[in-house]
Amino acid sequence: MMIIIAPGAVALIAAILAAAISIVDKVVNNYGEVELDINDGKKKIKLDGGESLLSSLAGQEIFVPSACGGRGTCGACKCQVTSDVGPYLPTETPFMTKENLADNIRLACQVKIKSDISIKIPDELFNIKKYDSIVKSIVDVTHDIKEVTFDLQGEEINFEAGKYVQLVVPPHGKIKGSTQRAYSMASKPGEKDIVRLLIRLVPGGIATTWVHTELKEGDRVELVGPFGDFFRTPTDTTMVCVAGGSGMAPFMSILFDMLDTGELDREVWYFFGARTVKDMFYLDELRELEKKMPNFHFVPALSEPEEGTPWDGATGLITDVLDKYLKEEIGTDKKREGYLCGSPGMINACNNVFTANKVSLDDIFYDKF
Amino acid sequence: MAPEIHPIVLLFASVFTSNILLANFLGMCSFISISKDMKSANGLGLAVTVVLTITSMLNWVLLKFVIIPLDLIYLRYIIFIIVIAATVQILEMVIDRVSPALYLSLGIFLPLITVNCAILGVALFMQIREYNFVQTVVFSFGSGIGWWLAIMALSAINKKIEKAPVPPALKGPGITLITIGFMAMAFIGFSGMLSVQ
Ligand code: FES
């Protein structure tokens, strides 16, 4: 008898308390209908208060970048709040610079909408959509990088070459919640019906392991985007691009877009660093591009070439190769812009090479991942 | 049978002579970590007092009408803890609504209280000592006030210590533990006056 009574009593008490919690939640967390005003009346939305700004916006199909999925740990969901929503939370302050504080920039995932609120977000965020895509193809481009192409099923994506999308990784195996990860698009803006990503296997990485071991052609995957502010300037300054590994993606998009739009006069140098021949990819495509674009120069370099494997390109650390070319080939007399995509370590090292060769930090653009 | 202690005596005893923190050493972790600035200490003290009083009342009712009649005394830990967790959750929502300013200052401390052993300790004391309802309310409220008093005192002392030439190896938790030892000794001075066992 006791065997039934004991767990029954505990369960009953827990159930009563759970009911009490949800009743209080319904009553106390009911802030009624509130108005969300975006960009000085450009868009006015009525919604139920009580939720975070981030999820309320997502409910309206307006997607603010949120790499951590609203946990307050990535700082990506910053947006300007122009009405009073109370003081900063301790979870927000670590992400705020002095300028942010002065402009009342807040983390959208931490701000709870309790009354009418007005915010300002960049206009291009209205362009961000959630895409219900189907995996069209998965190709191994190296031993640890896969080129995954997603079919947007009739929807169109409008973006500038260099931007990224967030891949929504569903719960799988031991990973209980859904997570999002950002990847630069390798497809070009002209290809509006697909998105192509280069995904390198990161040991222990949630998203990359999932892509490499579980994702199959024909699977449905959600993508959110486009995001980012990494794209070429609308000038004719010489571009010096440096990438490693899957940092290839945005440059494929940028270069092929330049070819498509006839931007052939601009001088572009593209340095791509890999360790060995088996880490090198897309060589043929880029060589082909070199033939079509007279001012484009592609410089692949291996840092640890293996003996016995033929290689006729440059060797050495990509920073050394870059330094040599900046001094000898590209020259330091005219203005140059640096474009970097790769690990933080590579970016910092390249930054140093650039500044040592008189490229100012203001003219260096990068995407760290 | 409830012991014959006058509620006023019990109140003084729980605040001073049997201070939950300095006589029983319960609730130490948050006591040490939050005592650096007065404002947080004050907030946490208030939160502990409120949660302690409410949960002890609820737990007393459950003890009297569910746990003892059904002979479930061996399940008291789990039941007490469920009640504490749920109360904290509800309180969090209510405070957020009623006083956002207070919520902001308590923000991260409130959930911490769920695992504050002073709260569970008081619930267990009231069961072992067989307090009646009034005694339970007085005892838990007094214990909360006692905890609050102790953390305020410690944060005040910490403020002074900040400027004192503490040997580097003792800075931080080291000197705090020594200070707490002295405070406990001072409180032992009260112990002959009243006894609540
Ligand atoms: S979504 Fe990551 S901090 Fe808000």
Question: pLDDT tens across A25-37, in order?
Answer: 888 888 888 899 9
**CA pair distance A9, B65, nearest whole angstrom:** 12
The answer, yes or no, to whether the previous bond of A226 is cis (omega within 30 of 0) is yes
CA of A71 to the centre of ligand 1 (A): 6
**CA pair distance A283, B193, nearest whole angstrom:** 88
Tell whether the model's pLDDT for residue A369 goes beyond 60: no
> What would the CATH number be for the domain defined by A238-368?
3.40.50.80
Mean pLDDT of A271-289: 91
User: Under a CB-based contact definition with an 8 Å cutoff, are residues A50 and A113 in contact?
Assistant: yes
B86 in reach of chain A (CB within 8 A): yes
Matching residue, tokens 């790769």: A342
A204 in reach of chain B (CB within 8 A): no
A72 phi-psi bin (left φ>0, alpha ψ -120 to 50, beta other): left
Q: Say how many Å lie between the first and final Cα of chain A, rounded.
A: 60
* CA count, 13 A, side-chain hemisphere, A229: 7
> Which CATH number applies to A32-125: 3.30.70.270, 3.90.1150.10, 3.10.20.30, 3.30.1360.20?
3.10.20.30
User: Under a CB-based contact definition with an 8 Å cutoff, are residues A338 and A330 in contact?
Assistant: no
Q: What is the pLDDT of residues B63-97, one digit of tens each?
A: 999 999 988 888 899 999 999 999 998 988 888 88
Of B66, B93, B100, the CB nearest to A25: B93
Type of residue found at A253: S
pLDDT of residue B196: 67
Matching residue, tokens 């004050």: B42
CB contact under 8 A, B96 and A2: no
CA of A77 to the centre of ligand 1 (A): 5
CB contact under 8 A, A5 and B62: no
Q: What is the pLDDT of residues B129-145, one digit of tens each?
A: 999 999 999 999 999 99
Q: What is the pLDDT of residues B89-129, one digit of tens each?
A: 898 888 888 877 777 766 667 777 777 888 999 999 999 99
Mean pLDDT of B15-24: 87
* CA count, 13 A, side-chain hemisphere, B83: 24
Tell whether the model's pLDDT for residue A368 goes beyond 70: no
Does A326 or A369 have the greater pLDDT score?
A: A326
pLDDT of residue B197: 59
pLDDT of residue B2: 67
Nearest-CA distance from A84 to chain B in Å?
13
Tell whether the model's pLDDT for residue A272 goes beyond 70: yes
Q: Among positive and negative, which fits the CA dihedral A199, A203, A206, A209? A: positive
Beta-carbon neighbour count of residue A363 at 10 Å? 15
User: Smallest Cα–Cα separation from B104: which of A29, A111, A66?
Assistant: A111
pLDDT of residue B95: 82
Share of chain A above pLDDT 90, in %: 37
Matching residue, tokens 């008081």: B122
Which regions of chain A carry the CATH code 3.10.20.30? 32-125
Which regions of chain A carry the CATH code 3.40.50.80? 238-368
**CB of residue A76 inside a 6 A radius of ligand 1:** yes
Q: What is the number of the ligand 1 atom nearest to the C-alpha of A71?
A: 2
Of B66, B72, B82, the CB nearest to A17: B82
**CA pair distance A244, A131, nearest whole angstrom:** 28
Identify the band that residue A217 occupies on the pLDDT scale cut at 50, 70 and 90.
very high
Contacts of B107 in chain A (CB under 8 A): 89-90
pLDDT of residue A107: 92
Q: What is the DSSP letter of A172?
A: B
CA of A52 to the centre of ligand 1 (A): 11
**CB of residue A72 inside a 6 A radius of ligand 1:** yes
pLDDT of residue B94: 85
Q: What is the pLDDT of residues A53-103, one digit of tens each?
A: 998 888 888 888 887 778 888 888 899 999 888 888 878 888 999 999 999
Tokens representing B54? 């409410």
Which regions of chain A carry the CATH code 2.40.30.10? 128-227
**Superfamily assignment of A128-227 in CATH?**
Translation factors (2.40.30.10)
Q: What is the pLDDT of residues A140-158, one digit of tens each?
A: 999 999 999 999 998 889 8
CB contact under 8 A, B75 and A2: no
B55 phi-psi bin (left φ>0, alpha ψ -120 to 50, beta other): alpha
Type of residue found at A105: I
CA of A110 to the centre of ligand 1 (A): 8
pLDDT of residue A194: 92
Tell whether the model's pLDDT for residue A326 goes beyond 80: yes
Contacts of A14 in chain B (CB under 8 A): 82
CB contact under 8 A, B93 and A9: no
CA distances from A283 to A142, A252, A288, A303 (A): 12, 11, 9, 16
CA distances from B57 to A119, A224, B33, B107 (A): 45, 50, 28, 24
Identify the band that residue A19 occupies on the pLDDT scale cut at 50, 70 and 90.
very high
User: Smallest Cα–Cα separation from A337: which of A269, A275, A246, A284?
Assistant: A269
Type of residue found at A362: D
Tell whether the model's pLDDT for residue A42 goes beyond 90: no
User: Smallest Cα–Cα separation from B66: which of B82, B90, B50, B49?
Assistant: B82
Contacts of A266 (CB under 8 A, 6+ apart): A236, A237, A238, A239, A258, A295
Q: Phi and psi for A71 in degrees, rounded to 5?
A: -90, -5
Q: What is the DSSP letter of B73?
A: G
User: Smallest Cα–Cα separation from B175: which of B163, B191, B187?
Assistant: B163
**CA pair distance A15, A30, nearest whole angstrom:** 22
Identify the band that residue A180 occupies on the pLDDT scale cut at 50, 70 and 90.
confident
Coil, strand, or helix at residue A136?
A: strand
Identify the band that residue B1 occupies on the pLDDT scale cut at 50, 70 and 90.
low
Q: What is the pLDDT of residues B139-195, one digit of tens each?
A: 999 999 999 999 999 999 988 888 888 898 888 888 888 999 999 888 888 777 776
Mean pLDDT of A331-360: 87
User: E-assigned strands of A2-84?
Assistant: 33-38, 43-48, 78-81
Contacts of A6 in chain B (CB under 8 A): 70, 72, 75
pLDDT of residue B182: 92
Q: What is the pLDDT of residues A203-213, one digit of tens each?
A: 888 889 999 99
pLDDT of residue A181: 87
**CA pair distance A202, A343, nearest whole angstrom:** 12
B108 in reach of chain A (CB within 8 A): yes
State pTM to two decimals: 0.59
**CA pair distance B57, B174, nearest whole angstrom:** 36
**CB of residue A70 inside a 6 A radius of ligand 1:** yes
Of A2, A6, A28, the CB nearest to B97: A28
Q: Which of residues 16-45 of A touch B (CB under 8 A)?
A: 17-18, 20-21, 24-25, 28-29
User: Under a CB-based contact definition with an 8 Å cutoff, are residues A13 and B83 in contact?
Assistant: yes
Q: What is the DSSP letter of A323?
A: H
Mean pLDDT rounded to a whole number for chain A: 88
Q: State which residue of chain B sits closest to A112, comparing Cα positions.
A: B96
Type of residue found at A331: G
Q: What is the pLDDT of residues A245-266, one digit of tens each?
A: 888 999 999 999 999 998 888 9
Tell whether the model's pLDDT for residue A329 goes beyond 90: no
Tokens representing A354? 């650039």
User: Smallest Cα–Cα separation from A187: which of A218, A152, A215?
Assistant: A152
Q: What is the number of the ligand 1 atom nearest to the C-alpha of A70?
A: 1
Q: Phi and psi for A86 in degrees, rounded to 5?
A: 85, 175
CA of A111 to the centre of ligand 1 (A): 11
